[in-house]
Structure 1
């Protein structure tokens, strides 16, 4: 009723104004009423929760005394209406049209909705600020002779009309940032000759940069911000004409080619940000002329050559970021002349040499980030005397020990990351003096000391990562004294003793990982106090006893791994424990779970000891009532009972004790001899004729099939296989060979036959037979089953089951126009099934198998769109070493290869598959290829999605073919998981077992999402 009443008042007042304008009265009175009634009509369209407009009264003759209204003192006409930040909602109604002398209208930081078409007739308007509302629609083709226009942070869309800038000779400030404008910029923008600020950032403007040459004509321009659009192509020369330019921001686009050589010839530049583009080549030497430049960001491009030695000439630099490029060489000592420098970020380049000691001269430094380079030598002691807030030297080759800090550093340091180096010695006890330290990562080094007990004094510490060192001793019992710790990782050390009960005091803990140590004793019940805990990893220790049932009450717990310990008994009821898979439980003495084949062991309760006197007394009393006639007979019976109980209890205890010892020894023996057993089994199955099976060239060998090996179809195929492998039967082709369809199955059903490329391994029949039989042992619902093989010196064939529904590549990128697109449910099923198949290869299959060639064409789909992974393990079959990919012929598909594999002869591991799986997720969610090429540029899908996520526009990446057939609560966590999987640092990627658990959690009704918490 309120909205209806306001609309009625609005219409009535508007009609009243129209009638007044048609009457013959005093003209000044009419003008005053226009402003009063116009503002009242405007107010009637608004919701004013805090009554800021209470002074606006329709009975007043003039609005000049009203709040937030200013008038011309000579004419008493309204010239300024400023309602910024008042929490108003509603629409900009027709009443504003009556304010014909209005020059300034500021409605920023409210919640206005609707369009702004009602402002198109205000010809005297000079300043219009509608920023940070929820306005939508398009901009009127004409806004008069406006000088200042700010529409930042709304939902305007569409293209910009050429007419919009036809009469812009007075426009000095224009900001359309953070909207949804698209298309190319109008050429008439060059007519805005006095424009000094142009901000079009965070929209969807596209096209090549030919318009930039138009912008170069705006000689009075001081700020140019075109960041985070979809602009592409190379930047033309001509920036030199912008003599007044101070701020140039082009980051987050698709610009490519070399940087303009004249970019350093604008003498007044103080901010240059060209990050998140595709620029390549050298850093222009003209930049050294920019003495006033204080902010330079060239990160996330493809800039190469040596680090500029003239960097010391840019004495005004405060912020320098050239991270994620391909810069080489040493960091020059001239960097020490940058006395105003506060932030230096050189991460993820190819820099080498030692960290120059001259960097200590930059006394204003607060952040030094050198992550992911090839720096060697020790850390300069002088750096730890500065007031640094962030130190990130991770992923280098630094040696020596951690320098002792100064009192200045103790007060300032917030982040210290020295992980992935070769640092040695002790972790200094002074670490406890960093009063503001929140993030401490010393993982993947060679520290051979105890966990410093002084860590308990770090009252603000939220992340402690000491993984994969040589730490000894026990886990400090008071490590969570501060109660602020959220992530604790001590994996891969030599810690002993039990998990302290005091760890239950870590009330804020979300991740606890103590795997691959030598911890003993039970899992403490105090862990049930960690109600925020999401990940618990206790894998590969010597923990014993039963899992405390209280852990079932941890409702936020999402991932648990307790494999390879000595645990027994039932799993806790409730929570994540009912969803654990085999990989999280295997390798224990006797956990009771239908997923495990081993024995189920339970703790036997202590035998009940009965007081003989109590029985004797009771029987004596009963005797007095006539139930017993002799105290002696009662004592005799009581004595016999105790003897039998004692014997049974002692016998049971001895049997249990012996059983535990035997099972423990067997378990240890099995672990030590696992490789020996695998080799023995392979020898049995691939032995010579001495084992009862001879290997014959030119024979079709069927393994996982009941089809007779001497059937007519098999015999015919063996006699002349090439006749079946023709163009008509070809169904696919890849780097490992060509795939054909042949009727070799039961009752003439089809099987898939891959004709392999030649390699040294398959030239030997015994080696080939052994490797195929290893692959054939991999049996999982999401893996293509290997059926057999055929071998001659000239031809080697691999026979597998035939999947008639084709592969994922054809469903995503080769779909016929009339074929419906994959639904979100189908895509999610493909993602989860593929993850389960890879998890089986990584964690359950023996020997562990790395796919290394994951891509959509190797994901086959059955009739219900359940995925089946093909070509797994073929890198072992056709290369000399399946774990070393030094032949470009067998490298992973474009866009799927993990970045660390750019190093030659690098041994691959499971994290390479995780990277490819992350790209596969993004391809399924977006419907786009992992790398897309344009005329002058290319787009890497993972980088594009990551940028869109940072901008808050990731939903725009979702495949439009799905329309609205998906849930944002499922898609967003899946996209975030994909970006974690495609991390540049392998150790940051989860395992496939963890990925399976995360995917299963995403569709479960868990209120908090793990990926939103980390």
Structure 2
């Protein structure tokens, strides 16, 4: 075996000797000279006799011998070859190779040409290519790479290398440098752009920051490919870019470049350019004319910037364009007509701009289009029939414009069509049956004015459709049973229509369905028992319909369900215990139904449940212990018969809604109307202050006196025996109808009695009310409904003053005694309290009994707290306190 000490070994040994003696090279030479001078014998002896001297001499002799052996046995090409070995070994020492890909790299080898991932020139045996892509390497790019002076290709992409790339800036033979998809950082050295031999530079997907200096493109005459995308570069794009005269691919996307690029003096001069990608930056300004000079341009991506102005009219003079994406900018004006010349264009995305004008009829000339997206603009007009000429079209996305007219039948000629999104326009008419014969994957016609019924579909559509959204239209008729044949359907939204039909039971066959939204579609019948047989359903929304019956136990089979909303229906019966099987459930909305019984305690075990609303049902008993029920808001359980905390001892109290009227201005500062818009005193009699109607439930506010009176009347009349009937009190009759006799009009016709009225004359509206009260008590005048009756707003008197009239719930056995009725009304009319509105009078017949009181126009507490407009500020805490205080005093 031939023993040869390579230069790497010498490098290591010399470093060790240097560290041992802590001597510089000049110190070493000085001492060596002194040791050879006979006149300095004593000095040399002192060095030799000391420990440090002995170490120094040993290292010196060892290095001298090593150098002699290397000079005798080595040849010139061996020294050069060992420079490559040295460089690669030092380069490897800065890396971490967790998968041991570089185990073949051995410093004892004479040549690295047999090492993995290394290629050499067969004539010179020098390393020319190093490709370590995707080896999960970590560490940094060290200075060892500088030893590879003949390296032409260095590719280290898709690793996790860190640090900067200063060490790479001095290799004058480098032609391709690919460091993409690492974690390199720092500023890109300007000297890297001065490597005149460099043709390919890819630094994509790192964390480089700072700006690019103008010097970066000083010597880029050989550069053909440049990608700096997905970094953190900022500032302006250097104006010297035009010097890269042979550049055919420029990708600066996904950085933080700003300002207006030098198009005319820079980019438009790169006449060999085939790809231009400046997307996802903060570039601004307009796009000037001149793009036609990029005759070879195939891909133009400028999306997600702040460009404005009109589209360049000469864009259609780039005949080889096949992809244009200018979306998410501020371009305005009409589409340039020259676009129709781009017959090779297959991808055109102009979405999310400010483009206007009619939808172009010449779109049919762009026969190469595969993807067309004009969504979120202000394009008007009708869809032309020429759109059927786009036989290669797969994606048609025109959502959120101002299109009108009908969906053209010619779309059936687009046999390759897969995605049609026309939502948020003004389209009318019916959905063409021919569209349901195509192999569509996504169909979104939501938010239009479409009418008619849903087409039944075809076998081709049954096998392809994954998303169907026809919500917010005016569709009617039945939901076709064929909907159960869409084998791959994942999203179905038919909400906000007028179907007036049952939920099709065939939905259970949709094995891949994850979202089912049928809200507010006038559905009737019951919830299908097997709606969750597929077990893939995650969102089920059936609220706002007229569904009846019980909630099926089978709904507990929806093991993936995250949202269940059945609110605002007419569902009855108990809440099924099987809901406790829905371990993924996060939102449960059952409010505004007629559910009864107790809440299953097992629901407290649903750990993922975040929101529950069971208000306005007929539920009783204790809330489940645990989970979201421990912190449930009162608004989520209000309006039930009796629900209480699980910690409360004794039975739950049955709740009966008690509407009340209070005037918070009676307390504190009477001039403080903060938080309640329109809270002013009524312009009527000074005797009645203008208070607000506020209620603790959904019942529209009426006066406390009316409600208290209603309760007293019913309790009193239930215990009273049937007495003989009397006529109305004479003075009461005369106070309303002047000139009427004691007998007056027939009691069957009815009389309006106003208590404590100062005038005995009757107005025309009072007479009309007495003759036919049902004409005034109609749906238009109804303002609320309570437990004991319905409240109407009725104009009475000479000036048409509004009064609140409550029509009591009919109860013939107890309200047919006029004498008792009149006596109780007059007793309660004498009650005076600042928080009570007094009774003004009544109307009585054996068939109908009405109570009359002052009309207070300011709404109720429910509307002020939970139904206010977004522009109306919420009630302040001071107002809320005064409301609570007034409520307490009114009840006291």
TM-score (structure 1 length as normaliser) = 0.61
Question: What's the counterpart of residue 400 of structure 1?
Answer: 452
Match of 2:630 among 555, 578, 585: 578
| 1:46 correspondence with 2:95 | yes
Contact residue 539 and residue 564 of structure 1 kept, 8 A: yes
Distance 1:581 1:226, change over 3 A: same
**Following the alignment from structure 1 to structure 2, what is the Cα–Cα distance between the partners of residues 539 and 117?**
66
Question: What's the counterpart of residue 133 of structure 2?
Answer: 84
Q: Give structure 2 stretches of 5+ with no counterpart.
A: 1-7, 19-62, 697-858, 881-892
Match of 2:597 among 545, 563, 577: 545
| 1:703 correspondence with 2:665 | yes
| 1:502 correspondence with 2:464 | no
Question: What's the counterpart of residue 869 of structure 2?
Answer: 850
**Following the alignment from structure 2 to structure 1, what is the Cα–Cα distance between the partners of residues 545 and 642?**
26
Match of 1:64 among 113, 138, 152: 113
Question: What's the counterpart of residue 28 of structure 1?
Answer: 77
C-alpha displacement of 1:378: 0.5
Distance 1:30 1:554, change over 3 A: same
| 1:304 correspondence with 2:356 | yes
**Following the alignment from structure 1 to structure 2, what is the Cα–Cα distance between the partners of residues 111 and 539?**
54
**Following the alignment from structure 1 to structure 2, what is the Cα–Cα distance between the partners of residues 295 and 771?**
70
Contact residue 695 and residue 860 of structure 2 kept, 8 A: no
Q: Give structure 1 stretches of 5+ with no counterpart.
A: 1-7, 604-658, 686-701, 710-743, 746-750, 779-839, 861-865, 870-1014
Contact residue 513 and residue 536 of structure 2 kept, 8 A: yes
Distance 1:220 1:537, change over 3 A: same
Match of 1:278 among 330, 340, 354: 330
**Following the alignment from structure 1 to structure 2, what is the Cα–Cα distance between the partners of residues 170 and 704?**
88
Contact residue 283 and residue 303 of structure 1 kept, 8 A: yes
Contact residue 841 and residue 848 of structure 1 kept, 8 A: no
Q: Deviations over 1:243-284 (max 9, x none)?
A: 111111111011111111111111111111010011111111
Match of 1:254 among 286, 294, 306: 306
Q: Deviations over 1:89-135 (max 9, x none)?
A: 11111111111111111111111111111111112111111111111
Question: What's the counterpart of residue 873 of structure 1?
Answer: none
Within-5 A mapping of 1:741-820: 774=692
Contact residue 185 and residue 211 of structure 1 kept, 8 A: no
Distance 1:581 1:770, change over 3 A: farther
Contact residue 842 and residue 849 of structure 1 kept, 8 A: no
Distance 1:34 1:269, change over 3 A: same
Question: What's the counterpart of residue 102 of structure 1?
Answer: 151
Contact residue 543 and residue 566 of structure 2 kept, 8 A: yes
Question: What's the counterpart of residue 978 of structure 1?
Answer: none
C-alpha displacement of 1:842: 10
C-alpha displacement of 1:703: 2.4
Contact residue 306 and residue 329 of structure 2 kept, 8 A: yes
| 1:317 correspondence with 2:369 | yes
Within-5 A mapping of 1:155-166: 155-166=207-218
Contact residue 396 and residue 421 of structure 1 kept, 8 A: yes
C-alpha displacement of 1:29: 1.2
Distance 1:846 1:545, change over 3 A: same
C-alpha displacement of 1:208: 2.3
Contact residue 423 and residue 447 of structure 2 kept, 8 A: yes
C-alpha displacement of 1:502: 1.2
Match of 2:172 among 111, 115, 123: 123
| 1:200 correspondence with 2:252 | yes
Question: What's the counterpart of residue 456 of structure 1?
Answer: 508
| 1:440 correspondence with 2:459 | no
**Following the alignment from structure 2 to structure 1, what is the Cα–Cα distance between the partners of residues 307 and 686?**
50
Q: Deviations over 1:849-895 (max 9, x none)?
A: 214167xxx999xxxxx9999xxxxxxxxxxxxxxxxxxxxxxxxxx
Contact residue 525 and residue 550 of structure 1 kept, 8 A: yes
Secondary structure, aligned partner of 1:182: strand
| 1:372 correspondence with 2:429 | no
Secondary structure, aligned partner of 1:216: helix
Distance 1:589 1:211, change over 3 A: same
**Following the alignment from structure 1 to structure 2, what is the Cα–Cα distance between the partners of residues 503 and 774?**
44
Contact residue 9 and residue 44 of structure 1 kept, 8 A: no
Question: What's the counterpart of residue 178 of structure 1?
Answer: 230
Secondary structure, aligned partner of 1:240: helix
**Following the alignment from structure 2 to structure 1, what is the Cα–Cα distance between the partners of residues 354 and 399?**
13
Q: Deviations over 1:568-606 (max 9, x none)?
A: 2222222111222122121111111499xxx99958xxx
Distance 1:347 1:867, change over 3 A: farther
Secondary structure, aligned partner of 2:226: strand
Within-5 A mapping of 1:564-713: 564-593=616-645, 681=661, 703=665, 706-707=668-669
Distance 1:495 1:142, change over 3 A: same
C-alpha displacement of 1:173: 0.6
Within-5 A mapping of 1:820-899: 845=864, 848-852=867-871
Secondary structure, aligned partner of 1:519: strand
**Following the alignment from structure 1 to structure 2, what is the Cα–Cα distance between the partners of residues 321 and 770?**
64
Q: Deviations over 1:457-476 (max 9, x none)?
A: 11111111111112122112
Contact residue 322 and residue 347 of structure 2 kept, 8 A: yes
Distance 1:103 1:770, change over 3 A: farther
Secondary structure, aligned partner of 2:387: helix
Contact residue 263 and residue 287 of structure 2 kept, 8 A: no
Q: Deviations over 1:807-826 (max 9, x none)?
A: xxxxxxxxxxxxxxxxxxxx
Q: Deviations over 1:336-375 (max 9, x none)?
A: 0000100000000010100000011000000000010011
**Following the alignment from structure 2 to structure 1, what is the Cα–Cα distance between the partners of residues 436 and 285?**
44
Question: What's the counterpart of residue 218 of structure 1?
Answer: 270
Secondary structure, aligned partner of 2:190: coil
Contact residue 590 and residue 601 of structure 1 kept, 8 A: no
Distance 1:188 1:36, change over 3 A: same
Question: What's the counterpart of residue 625 of structure 1?
Answer: none
Contact residue 694 and residue 862 of structure 2 kept, 8 A: no
Within-5 A mapping of 1:131-142: 131-142=180-191
**Following the alignment from structure 1 to structure 2, what is the Cα–Cα distance between the partners of residues 766 and 261?**
70
**Following the alignment from structure 1 to structure 2, what is the Cα–Cα distance between the partners of residues 164 and 10?**
38
Q: Tell me the number of residue pairs that the alignment of Structure 1 and Structure 2 aligns.
A: 659
Contact residue 132 and residue 154 of structure 1 kept, 8 A: yes
CA RMSD of the aligned region, Å? 3.6
Distance 1:100 1:21, change over 3 A: farther
Match of 2:206 among 133, 154, 171: 154
Distance 1:252 1:13, change over 3 A: farther
Contact residue 424 and residue 447 of structure 1 kept, 8 A: yes
Distance 1:439 1:212, change over 3 A: farther
Q: Deviations over 1:882-937 (max 9, x none)?
A: xxxxxxxxxxxxxxxxxxxxxxxxxxxxxxxxxxxxxxxxxxxxxxxxxxxxxxxx
Secondary structure, aligned partner of 1:296: strand
Q: Deviations over 1:520-549 (max 9, x none)?
A: 111111111111111111111111112111
C-alpha displacement of 1:845: 2.7
Distance 1:492 1:776, change over 3 A: closer
**Following the alignment from structure 1 to structure 2, what is the Cα–Cα distance between the partners of residues 221 and 451?**
58
Within-5 A mapping of 1:942-961: none
| 1:523 correspondence with 2:575 | yes
The structure whose residues are more often helix, as a share, is 1
Contact residue 230 and residue 254 of structure 1 kept, 8 A: yes
Secondary structure, aligned partner of 1:376: strand
Distance 1:213 1:853, change over 3 A: farther
Contact residue 317 and residue 341 of structure 1 kept, 8 A: yes
Secondary structure, aligned partner of 2:119: strand
**Following the alignment from structure 2 to structure 1, what is the Cα–Cα distance between the partners of residues 300 and 542?**
45
Distance 1:201 1:327, change over 3 A: same
Secondary structure, aligned partner of 2:266: helix
| 1:420 correspondence with 2:439 | no
Contact residue 568 and residue 600 of structure 1 kept, 8 A: no
